Amino acid sequence: MDDCAVYRINDRQAIVESLDFFTPIVDDPFDFGQIVAANALSDIYAMGCLPLFALNIIGFPRDRLPLSVLEDIIRGGIDKCTEAGVPILGGHTIEDPELKYGLAVTAFEDIERIVTNAGARPGDALVLTKPLGTGIIASGIKRGEVAAEVIRRVTRLMATLNDAGARAVREVGVSALTDVTGFGLLGHLSEMANASGVSAEIIASQVPVIPEAFERARAGKVPGGTKRNLDFVRAGLDVRPGIDEATLLLLADAQTSGGLLAAVPEGKVERFVARLKELGTPAAAVVGRVTEPQAWRIAIRPS
């Protein structure tokens, strides 16, 4: 259940490969291209690796949209990959009634530097590098219910690379690593817990969230994917008094280009969080801890 395929080519090195694509979640094609690229690169960063190059994957409805839209999407992807120091070396486009854009991303890494989601140990702190709520906000954008300022702010957040978090991981070292995307924080944490043979505890008050997403969750304006995420993990949750349904939905919200979630040994937490802040990640929050295996996989308490 890791974020990438890893193919060992010799005793020391491996090719790390990932693929991601999706339909538009914002109106501006350039912004869409940037978000897609940041999201696709994130899977490589979530293995503690540095991406080497990428290839475009595009489905485009040329009978319904002008080619200028396609140009702007590709330009956004190139702009974000250039920021990451990653060349896009080509790709493939097909005609498709529904617009889709994505990237296949490749890294070449020393095996000892690759971080999986299977190494979390009891006592590790759980550290998150971006706030939650982009799935709920993206759903509101599609419905025309989100203010322009919020759209700009959340677009910048989704287009923010996870390269700084990956640098901190490589410099400080962590036990396990993943990114928070389509399965939400609870889904990806449950994968980490299962792969590592541990349980976990989340402190809800310490989890950074987009304020407007919390407002929409409290109003019941939540996309179906987020609800399905929560339904999928609910049987493995130990929900303590003081946690409401809106909080659970935020913790399960399906993120686009979310942050990294790291399990960090106790002796490295202070240094790791400080380095994240120095590098300017959108968040550097200790949101919980890894615990001993028990009947309940993930406990959620208010504080």
- Tell me the three-class secondary structure of the chain, residue by residue: CCCCEEEECCCCEEEEEEEEEECCCCCCHHHHHHHHHHHHHHHHHCCCCCCCEEEEEEEECCCCCCHHHHHHHHHHHHHHHHHHCCCEEEEEEEECCCCEEEEEEEEEEEHHHCCCCCCCCCCCEEEECCCECHHHHHHHHHCCCCCHHHHHHHHHHHCCCCHHHHHHHHHHCCCEEEECCCCHHHHHHHHHHHHHCCEEEEEHHHCCECHHHHHHHHCCCCCHHHHHHHHHHHHHEEECCCCCHHHHHHHHCCCCCCCEEEEECHHHHHHHHHHHHHHCCCCCEEEEEEECCCCCCEEEECC
State which residues of the chain have pLDDT below 70: none
Give me the pLDDT at residue 157, please.
97
Give me the pLDDT at residue 164, please.
98
pLDDT in tens, 18-52: 999 999 999 999 999 999 999 999 999 999 999 99
pLDDT in tens, 269-287: 999 999 999 999 999 999 9
Give me the pLDDT at residue 67, please.
96
